[in-house]
Structure 1
Amino acid sequence: MPSNLKDKIHNLLHPLTHTSLDTEPNRIAGLEIPRGEGLSKSQRINIALDGLSERQLAELAIRFANEHGDMDLNEAGRKVLDADAPPLTRITRRDVARVFEADLAGDADLLEMVERNFALSHPLDGIFSAGVKSLRDQINENMVRNPGIWSVEDLFREIGALDCSRTRFAGLLQDAIHPLARSGEMQQRTVSALNRVLVRDGYELSPDGQESGHPIYALRQVARGVSGRPKNLIFASRGPKPELGFADAINNDIVVLSGQDSCLIFDRPISPDGLRWSELTAWWSGQVPGGDALSLGRRLQESLASDAEKNVFSTYFKAYRRGLGDRLPALLPQVYLHYDPAIVKTLRNRLPLPRQRMDFLLLMPARQRVVIEVDGKHHFAEGNQASLKVYSEMVSADRELRLAGYEIYRFGANELVGSRAKMVIIDFFDKLFRIHGLTND
């Protein structure tokens, strides 16, 4: 790629006169073309470009391309810079197209939208000849004059959107969900549907300002989640800590040695989309004869110790189970984060691990793990005395979790009881789901 990019820049600059080479490359892109008696134009350009890194060549190519309206050169530079971030695969781009079905532009002009990002003047086979229609003519005939002949997936295939640079693809996608194309509820539904596809490659459409009160979205990498994949969830603790062993240490397969009634252990594979309530219910039905969502909810509530925690749990499901349906993330109560074996009390020279359990955990798409803590007096005090030591241990454990990629949200227990509790809880989850691309349709 570097030599190809170098050749493209060389071919763009070579038609300039010696005099223009003295000034124009520097004006446009900050590229100094050396002078030297007896040097040809090719030699001067090659000296200027030799030794530049792949990224430097790409940045030069984009500056020159923008000045000259050279879409192909711009694309060559963008593809080099794309290597700095995870790829947006053909599979994901195809599935993005399928979200739109046969309507990419919505209320906007399709040809104008596509032509802002892709060259449409050339024919499908790349040869200008009598009777061969340009891409623009083909799109007009198959999607504008006769809607539905081509799907958006067909369009992406013909214009090269399945293989183009991520930046060019992002430009087309952002135009398709711009308020001029889609607004209000339609925009929100489309963004949510697209984000469920894009998150598989680590991307999302996130708010990037407003125009006339309407949100504008940009394609960005999803915020860093927790590395690794969950293997065992030990949760819904309602009594003494169970004693665990490894049935197979190589595979990290856990066996409950005693106390199995005090906790639940979810050991099924968890997908990149996180853990949903529907998946947890399906697992529960295989654990308990006749187990269903209602009995699972009752079992999880048994692990909740305070009215504040019970309000979070009950309000969550009442407010979101119907609207989010199968997309509803499972709200897991009393989840063990660190696990010390029972024998820890007999060990010397080692303190127990801090933050043994989390009040609630949500496993969201893109490896995002959300911790919700309900803080009572014991989070800040020893007995009835305020304790800086206890508080310091808590905030230190929070820092370590955040550095590992977790999101942590704390509530004072008094916020979650009383007449305003429901409003506080729903307001929090509305905002949280909006951040993570989930809407309560």
Structure 2
Amino acid sequence: MADELYGHVAGILYGMTHTQMSDEPQRIAGLVVPAPEGFSKRQRIELALENLTQEDLGRVALKFAAARGDIPLDEAARKVLEADDPPLTQITRRDIARVLGDDFAGERSTVEVVEGLFPLSSPFEGFFGSSGKSLRDQITRHMDHNPGDWSVEHLFGEIGAFDCSRARFGALLEQAVHPLSRSGDEQAKTVAALNKALSRDGYELAQDGEISGHPLFIFRSLVRGVDGRPKNLIFASRGPKPEIGFTDAINNDIVILSGEDSCLVYHRPIGASGLLWSELVAWWSETTPGADAAKLGARLQESIASDAERKLFATYFKTYRSALGEALPALLPQVYLHYDPAIVKTLRNRLPLPRQRMDFLILLPNRQRIVIEVDGRHHFSENDLPSLRVYADMVSADRELRLAGYEVYRFGANELVGSGAEARVTDFFDKLFRLHRIRQ
């Protein structure tokens, strides 16, 4: 599959002129092609592609596919990128087709839903050979004009849904349960039945927002994650701890009573894709006149109290900002945890929280929330003396976070000073990103 994808990408490059090859691959896909001096077109292509990993090649191909509207190339790239992920088997796909019966799109046209995901213009090859009509024409006839002629299982076979990439199949299911297709009890029952089949392979349709009061669903891995979506992220305090109150305790709507000037408040919706650095920069630029990414970085660093924390923060951006680009997750310092709806039950019961602030928070896709703590002496001592009580409070808080679905990682402050600090930080984030499939 990777060799086939290499041929696809090489063919796209070979169709360019030398001048185009010097600019378009980098502009479209971030692929640098060596200058033409002394090289043939074929040599330039080989040099550009020779050091790409399989994942690098897949990401480049995805970007070319998006720019060209090339569904087959997009599909080939996704299959390469999904090679190491748990499969969504043909058995499960067949069971899903049978759940849907002979009604795939509900209140929408089947062609309308399918044609953006699968190529339908090729001549249809039926039992008696080609009819001269396209697959699009056949789907219109047998599913839209004459419901019941084709089952969804038959449709899946004709469009290639039993063998397509998992991402494409997931997108197909998202459309099948979209509120424009199904709503109310029918939508809820369909999602429940589909999830029963999907769960056997470790996947699900999970609600991620709503439109006009109707739930929207996304296809994703069945992960533990954290229930609820974060809102009112209050972070980067460079002064006293903000004091809060509730404007609506039922919906967990808050107001900052004091200390608002010393902290930042990100109040935009955060979906299943987490929070990216680029999104944080866009918010900062829109809410702070004359601001940019550099000024946001400087503002965040003002809230960081120790050299060890500053080292972790600086190394993160130095190492991953270019490597991940637009996919770089935001690393938020000094986040006030008790404004997170995931622990709203604790808030409503008015129980004291053992930890009100975390050193760093990362919001990753699939509602994975990563807490990073940098432990100095105050984490284990009281009045400069070792304290079992302080230590017990800390591990108790960790337990509560993990039970709520968070991942908690701790560094000793001594780990983040000296010549080996950067290597230690990058080793941690490399492993974390591999674990959560954040592609570099």
TM bucket by the smaller chain?
0.5 to 0.7
Aligned to 1:358: 358
After superposition, where does 1:171-182 map in structure 2 within 5 Å? none
- Counterpart residue number, 1:415: 415
Q: What letter corresponds to residue 159 of structure 1 in structure 2?
A: E
Choose 263-272 or 245-254, whichever is displaced more: 245-254
2: CA distance between counterparts of 1:392 and 1:372?
18
Paired amino acid for 1:369:
R
Q: Quote the Cα distance in structure 1 between the aligned partners of 2:334 and 2:269.
A: 20
1:373 Cα deviation after fit: 0.7
Between the aligned partners of 2:336 and 2:322, the Cα distance in structure 1 is 29
Give a deviation string over 1:357-406, Cα, whole Å, max 9, x none.
11100000010000101111111222232222222221121111111111
**Secondary structure, in 3 states, of the residue corresponding to 2:260?**
coil
Q: Residue 95 and residue 392 in structure 1: after superposition, are their counterparts in 2 closer, same or farther (change >3 A)?
A: farther
> In the alignment, does 2:378 pair up with 1:378?
yes
Question: Who is 2:299 aligned against?
Answer: 299
- 1:351 CA displacement: 7.2
Alignment CA distance shift 1:81-1:393 (3 Å) = farther
Q: Quick check: 1:199–1:365 contact (8 Å CA) kept in 2? A: no
Q: Which residue of structure 2 aligns with residue 35 of structure 1? A: none
Instruction: Identify if the C-alpha distance between structure 1 residues 170 and 359 changes in structure 2 by more than 3 Å, giving closer, same or farther.
Output: same
User: Is this contact kept in 2: 1:92–1:201, CA < 8 A?
Assistant: no
Q: Deviations over 1:162-209 (max 9, x none)?
A: 4x5xxx6679999xxxxxxxxxxxxxxxxxxxxxxx99957xxxxxxx
**For the structure 1 residues 383 and 157, does the alpha-carbon distance in structure 2 shift closer, same or farther, using more than 3 Å as the test?**
same
SS in 2 for 1:411: strand
Shift of 1:246: 3.9
Does the Cα contact within 8 Å between 1:124 and 1:158 map onto a contact in 2? no
Specify the alignment match of 1:129 in structure 2.
128
8 Å CA contact 1:275, 1:363 repeated in 2: yes
Q: Check the 8 A contact 1:248/1:254 in 2, yes or no.
A: yes
Corresponding residue of 1:273: 273
Mark the CA change 1:424 to 1:245 in structure 2 (over 3 Å): closer, same or farther. Answer: same
Deviation at 1:282, TM superposition (A): 1.4
Percent pairwise identity = 59
Q: Displacement, 1:315?
A: 0.7
**Counterparts of 1:255 and 1:220 in 2: how far apart (Å)?**
34
Give 1:27-426 correspondences, 5 Å limit: 128-129=127-128, 159-162=158-161, 164=162, 201=205, 221-247=221-247, 252-338=252-338, 352-426=352-426
Q: Secondary structure at the match of 1:254?
A: strand
Cα distance in 2 for residues equivalent to 1:172 and 1:241 = 43
* Code of the aligned partner of 2:417: V
SS of the residue corresponding to residue 426 of structure 2 reads: helix
Residue 361 of structure 1 contacts residue 371 of structure 1 at CA under 8 Å; is this kept in 2? yes
> What residue number does 1:428 align with?
428
Amino acid at match of 1:266: Y
Q: CA deviation at 1:285?
A: 1.7
CA-to-partner distance for each residue in 1:231-252, whole Å, 9 max, x for gaps? 1111112221222234555654
Aligned equivalents of 1:237 and 1:408: distance in 2?
21
- Could you report, residue by residue, the CA deviation over 1:303-332 in whole angstroms, capped at 9, with x for unpaired residues? 111111000111111111112111111100
What is the SS of the residue equivalent to 1:392? helix
When the two structures are superposed, what TM-score results if normalisation uses the length of structure 2? 0.52
Aligned mates of 1:199, 1:361 — CA distance in 2: 26
Q: Partners in 1 of 2:325 and 2:290 — Cα distance?
A: 21
The answer to whether the 8 A contact 2:97-2:156 is kept is no
**Following the alignment from structure 2 to structure 1, what is the Cα–Cα distance between the partners of residues 113 and 400?**
33
Tell me, which stretches of 5 or more residues in structure 1 are unaligned? 1-70, 83-89, 99-122, 136-155, 175-197, 203-218, 341-349
Q: 2-side partners of 1:160 and 1:224: how far apart?
A: 33
AA matched with 1:304: I
CA distance in 2, matches of 1:329, 1:271: 13
> Contact conserved, 1:276 with 1:326, CA < 8 A, in 2?
yes
User: Is the contact between residue 244 and residue 256 of structure 1 (CA under 8 Å) also seen in structure 2?
Assistant: yes
Task: Pick closer, same or farther for the CA change 1:427–1:75 going to 2, 3 Å.
Answer: closer
- Kept in 1, the 8 Å contact 2:205–2:220? The answer is no
Q: Distance in 2 between matches of 1:286 and 1:132?
A: 56
- Using the alignment, how far apart are the partners of 2:263 and 2:306 within structure 1? 18
Q: Using the alignment, how far apart are the partners of 1:92 and 1:432 within structure 2?
A: 36
Mapped to 1, the partners of 2:316 and 2:92 lie a distance apart of 48
Root-mean-square deviation (CA, aligned residues, Å) is 4.3
SS of 1:353's equivalent in the other structure is coil
The answer to whether the Cα contact below 8 Å between 2:232 and 2:339 also exists between their aligned partners in 1 is no
Distance (whole Å) between structure 1 residues aligned to residue 297 and residue 90 of structure 2: 57
Q: Deviations over 1:241-282 (max 9, x none)?
A: 222234555654433332112221111111211111111111
CA contact (8 A) 1:334 1:357 kept: yes
CA separation in 1, counterparts of 2:351 and 2:128? 80
Code of the residue aligned with 1:286 in structure 2: it is: E
Cα gap change, 1:72/1:391 in structure 2, threshold over 3 Å: closer, same or farther? closer
Match of residue 19 from structure 2: none
Task: Measure how far apart 1:293 and its partner are.
Answer: 1.0
Larger-Rg structure? 1
Change (3 A) 1:254 1:80: same
Kindly tell me the number of residue pairs found equivalent between the two proteins. 269
1:76 to 1:272, Cα distance in 2 relative to 1, 3 A? closer
Deviation at 1:92, TM superposition (A): 11
Using the alignment, how far apart are the partners of 1:330 and 1:365 within structure 2? 12
Report the secondary structure of 1:437's partner residue: coil
5+ residue gaps in structure 2? 1-88, 101-109, 135-154, 170-201, 207-218, 341-349
Question: Structure 1 residue 161: deviation in Å?
Answer: 4.1
- Check whether the contact 1:331–1:361 (CA below 8 A) recurs between aligned residues: yes
Residue identity matched to 1:365? P
**Whole-Å separation in 2 of the counterparts to 1:72 and 1:278:** 37
- 1:402 aligned partner, one-letter code: R
Q: 1:75 to 1:429 in 2, by over 3 A?
A: closer
Aligned partners of 2:282, 2:397: CA distance in 1, in Å?
33
How far, CA to CA, are the matches of 1:291 and 1:386 in structure 2?
A: 44
